Structure 1
Amino acid sequence: MIKTKVTCLRAEKIIHAFGVSVLVRLTVPDTSATGYAEQLMQRLTEVWADSPTPRQNKKTILEVDLGVVDDKKFERIQSVLSTEVTLAALRAHSGDLLMFHAGGIARDDGKVAMIIGPSGVGKTTTMRHLGLHYGYVSDETVAVNFQGEVLPYRKPLSIITDGHEFKVQVAPSTLHLLPLPTAPLILSGIALLKRPDTIESDTVLEPIGLAQGLMMAIEQTSYLGEIHRPLAKLASLASKVGGFKVMTVGTPERIHRVVEQIFDSREVPRWTSIMPDENRMPRTDTAFIPLNVVDAVECSDGTVVFTKDKQAILLDGIGPQLWRSSCNLESWQQLINRIEASFGPAPHMDTKSAIIKASDKLIEAGIISNNINDLR
């Protein structure tokens, strides 16, 4: 139930967003008629009526204040409201959830397919079509706890409309999008959205390596750096649902024909957490030492490291072996043996020279050092 309170020329209303209650306030001009603030608030927020009340609401954002508004600013304020509610909920869950710039749909059994993509790639259009066949979870933000449970965010869809300066906010029910199932929502598949080369292209779903998928997903994840061991949690979540797939969306009417493949992937990509032992100290013959990395995962297609300044870096070639070696504080001879066992002797130069040349990228990125004093 939504309760509205009016005080003089102000109005308040609570909006729910993936487990958070957001108190929205507005003020109307002093010359406004009695009840105008309440009427305006009702108009602004009626498109949020489909947003479910959280089962266990443990957090409340104190306020999103829209300032002084009137009919002349209605569409702009309604668009601002959507953005501010989302940002408030993201801040509230910082460090507690994996939160993706993504749309989501749910089957009757509660399985959720998450479709990740940056602004402008077509998430809302995709959700608008898929929501006619599956329960609409969100077109903007999908929040997932570390066990894979999805918190729905049935916000109004933000639709570009001819003749309107701002995106028009439309309630899911107005677009006849399906309601959520009664079953608990559990993440079951992840797709990374890609624009097609031509509008008449078929919708295609293709696998992508776990490391490559992590890099793409990280770019669309909010407050990832506030989570302890963020890459391990993200890799664990992705591997449980079959890793990542790239979905190139063609003609909208054909989208739902391939979406079922997102839900039921059986492949489980393997990954390993590769981090230094903080209790070990380098020796005088240690080749490289690790620096400034808060998490790192090794996958079949590369190693992803996440730095203290919240940057994700993909290591390929001999990069993953250099990172492993630095975490183990290996000597030069141990490192040379490691590289030659994996890649064979370096062509045209000795292996140590090849390693030094290849290490420049990692040293420049600040994730390893050849000076053991940097660790002290």
Structure 2
Amino acid sequence: MTGGPLLVDAFGAAWSLDVDGLGEPMAGRVRALWTRAASGPAPEGEVRPYVVGRADGLLSLAGVPHRASDAELPYLLSRALTMASIHRRTGQCLLLHAAGVSAPDGATVALVAASGTGKTTAARVLGAHLGYVSDETVAVEDDLTVRPWAKPLSVLHDPTDPFDKTESGPDELGLVRAPAELHLAALVLLSRDPAAQASRLERVPLVEALAEVVPQTSALLRLEHPMEAVCSALTAGGGPWRLHYAEIAECVELVRGLAEGRGADEEPVAWACERGDEPALLEDDDAPPSPPSPPSPPVTVEGWTGQGPVCRTSFQHAVHAQGSSLVIRAQVPSVLPGLASTVWRALEEPRGLDELVERAVAEHGPHPDADGILTATVSALVASGHVEPVGADRP
């Protein structure tokens, strides 16, 4: 007796998940774990087969053999199906490493954090009160529509072993079912501190938030307008926001408030994006991912003395907001605060010290040692590889 394939919608990537080849009771266990993900509205677009079974004594996931036990299979499947779905949706939407919960009207709060730092716990605890959207991947479309990923929740047991996880279905855990139509209400950076006296939401500068969120995305630079997408998500609902807490159970009303528009009256953050001339370093869609190339080495100089003009080095993307900048070179983001941002923005064309001092004074006010401060700032930007003297030879 077989149960037949499950039609699973993974944040916009549809799969026909066939586990009959596992045999009972394992096939029944997997079906129970994936019931929620397979019980939503019929997904749109192409439905691809995903067959799980056994071959030559090994587990087989979509034709790929794995030497794993039955106890390891649920997490292995969850991880493999998530990665396959990310591959399918790459370049189509913003993919955040985040948990997600929603209000009854579909207003969704995405909770961003690095792996192993509280996303699944947040999804499990908050999902008992708000709709469960995902415990690890929140997909956001250009119009801030959110795609659900109601997968089993992966609970880490041994922090030193990222694969020592067990799976529990959202129905088994009694998590609230999210509505079919979701939209992003706010994006929150999770900041757990066991010593925190009280939970609180803090509005944070956009560039600070970007520096944390950009590494918690998948294939961000494959998007046509990557920085615009992530800035729009971060500033939704009056953000960016950071949630400080000791126990996530104390944060239900804070998160609910964001879903219900708590930050709607906040003054919106003004931001601007620039696209540079550095290639996006895209991988071949059929090739395994490789580590990003390091940025170009800085020019070797004995400090910049203020003689001669300087210019920017190549970059991919930049975002400017609230007097700071985030500059991405070779897929590596760097924060340029205050005066460093002023200088870098001024160098959209080569300039000498006098022009840079004039721009800095206009933005920050006069200073008796403006020449010395600007010389030191440019020297630091040269040392970091963001700026170079015009005509400099690289090693």
TM range (shorter): 0.7 to 0.9
- Letter in structure 1 aligned against 2:169: A
- The question of whether the paired residues in 2 share the 8 Å contact of 1:51 and 1:155 is answered with yes
SS in 1 for 2:254: helix
1:270 and 2:260 matched: no
Amino acid at match of 2:364: F
- Look up the match of 1:190: 187
SS in 1 for 2:26: helix
Match in the other structure for 2:64:
none
2:103, 2:256 within 8 Å by CA — same for their partners in 1? no
Q: Deviations over 1:150-178 (max 9, x none)?
A: 0000011112469x983221111111111
Distance 1:253 1:359 in 2: 47
Q: In 2, are the aligned partners of 1:51 and 1:154 still within 8 Å (CA)?
A: yes
Secondary structure of 1:206's counterpart equals strand
State yes or no: 1:324 paired with 2:317.
no
Matches within 5 A, 1:215-226: 215-226=211-222
TM-score by length of 2: 0.78
> 1:336 Cα deviation (Å)?
1.9
Distance 1:231 1:88 in 2: 24
Gaps of 5+ in 2: 61-66, 279-306
TM-score by length of 1: 0.81
Tell me the matched-pair count.
Answer: 348
What is the CA distance between 1:66 and its match in structure 2?
A: 6.8
1:151-300 to 2 correspondence within 5 Å? 151-160=147-156, 166-182=164-180, 184-198=181-195, 201-263=197-259, 264=261, 265-266=263-264, 267=266, 268-274=268-274, 287-300=309-322
- Cα 1:342–1:72 change in 2 (3 A) is closer
Give the match's secondary structure for 1:103: strand
Deviation at 1:273, TM superposition (A): 2.3
d(CA) in 1 for partners of 2:384, 2:53: 42
Query: C-alpha offsets along residues 296-315 of structure 1, whole Å, 9 cap, x if unaligned?
Result: 111115111122x2111111
Q: Cα offset for 1:366?
A: 3.2
Deviates more, 1:49-58 or 1:125-134: 49-58
Contact residue 4 and residue 38 of structure 1 kept, 8 A: no
C-alpha displacement of 1:119: 1.8
- Percentage identity across aligned positions? 26
Residues 362, 146 of structure 1: alpha-carbon distance in 2 compared, 3 angstrom cutoff: farther
Residue 32 of structure 2 is aligned with which of 46, 64, 85? Answer: 46
Residue 361 (structure 2) aligns with: 340
| 1:31 corresponding residue in structure 2 | none
Q: Look up the equivalent residue of 2:175 and give its one-letter code.
A: L
**CA offset at residue 76 of structure 1?**
0.8
Aligned in 2, Cα 1:48/1:295: closer, same or farther, shift over 3 Å? Answer: same
Aligned partners of 2:277 and 2:315 also within 8 Å: no
Distance 1:3 1:58, change over 3 A: farther
After TM superposition, give the deviation of residue 205 of structure 1 in Å.
1.2
Q: Distance in 1 between matches of 2:275 and 2:349?
A: 9
Aligned to 1:99: 95
- Whether the aligned pair in 2 keeps the contact of 1:325 and 1:335 (CA below 8 Å) is yes
